[in-house]
Amino acid sequence: MKPLLSIENLAVAYQTDLETVAAVNGISFAIHKGQTLGIVGETGAGKTTTALSILRLLPDRTGIIKSGKIEFEGEDLLTYSERAMRKVRGEKVAMIFQDPMTALNPVIPIGKQIAEALILHNPDGMSRDDIEDRVDASLKMVGISPQRKGDYPHQFSGGMKQRVIIAIALACKPKLIIADEPTTALDVTIQAQVLQMINDLKSELQTAMIMITHDLGIVAQTCDEVAVMYAGEIVEYGMMEDIFDAPVHHPYTVGLFGSIPSLDQDVERLYTIDGLMPDPTNLPVGCKFMDRCPKVMPICQEAPKTYTISGKHQIKCHLFSDIAQSPSDSGKADTNTAEPDKGANP
Segment 10-16 shows an average pLDDT of 95
List 176's β-bridge partners, or say none. 93, 208
CB 78 within 8 A of CB 69: yes
Radius of gyration of the CA atoms of the chain, in A: 21
Residue 26 pLDDT greater than 90, yes or no: yes
CATH number of 5-223: 3.40.50.300
Helix boundaries (H) for the chain: 47-54, 82-88, 100-103, 110-121, 128-141, 158-170, 188-205, 216-222, 240-245, 251-258
List the strands of the sheet with 20-31, edge to edge: 20-31, 5-15, 63-72, 75-76
Q: What is the DSSP string of 252-266?
A: HHHHHHHTS--TT--
CA distance 172 to 112: 14
The whole-angstrom separation of Cα 189 and Cα 24 is 33
Q: What is the pLDDT of residue 29?
A: 96
Q: Please report the sign of the dihedral spanned by the C-alpha atoms of residue 264, residue 265, residue 268, residue 272.
A: negative
Q: Model confidence over 177-216: pLDDT tens digits? A: 999 988 776 777 777 877 888 888 788 888 899 999 988 8
**pLDDT for the residue numbered 123:** 66
Of 2, 20, 3, which Cα lies nearest the Cα of 11?
Answer: 20
User: Is the per-residue pLDDT at 244 higher than 70?
Assistant: yes
**pLDDT at residue number 259:** 80
Rounded to an integer, what distance in angstroms lies between the CA atom of residue 118 and that of residue 121?
5
- Distance separating alpha carbons of residues 168 and 84, to the nearest angstrom: 20
Considering the chain, what is the average pLDDT of its residues? 86
- pLDDT of 215 reads 84
Largest CA distance in the chain: 68
Q: Is the pLDDT of residue 324 over 70?
A: no
Q: What is the pTM of this model?
A: 0.87
Distance CA 161, CA 179 (A): 15
Dihedral sign, Cα of residue 166, residue 168, residue 169, residue 170: positive
Identify the CA nearest to 325 among candidates 344, 306, 339: 306
Residue 21 CA from chain centroid, whole number: 20
Whether residue 336 has pLDDT greater than 60: no
CA–CA gap between residue 101 and residue 217 (Å, rounded): 24
Q: Where, residue-wise, is CATH 3.40.50.300 in the chain?
A: 5-223
What percentage of the chain has pLDDT greater than the value 90? Answer: 56
Residue 279 in this model has a pLDDT that exceeds 90: yes
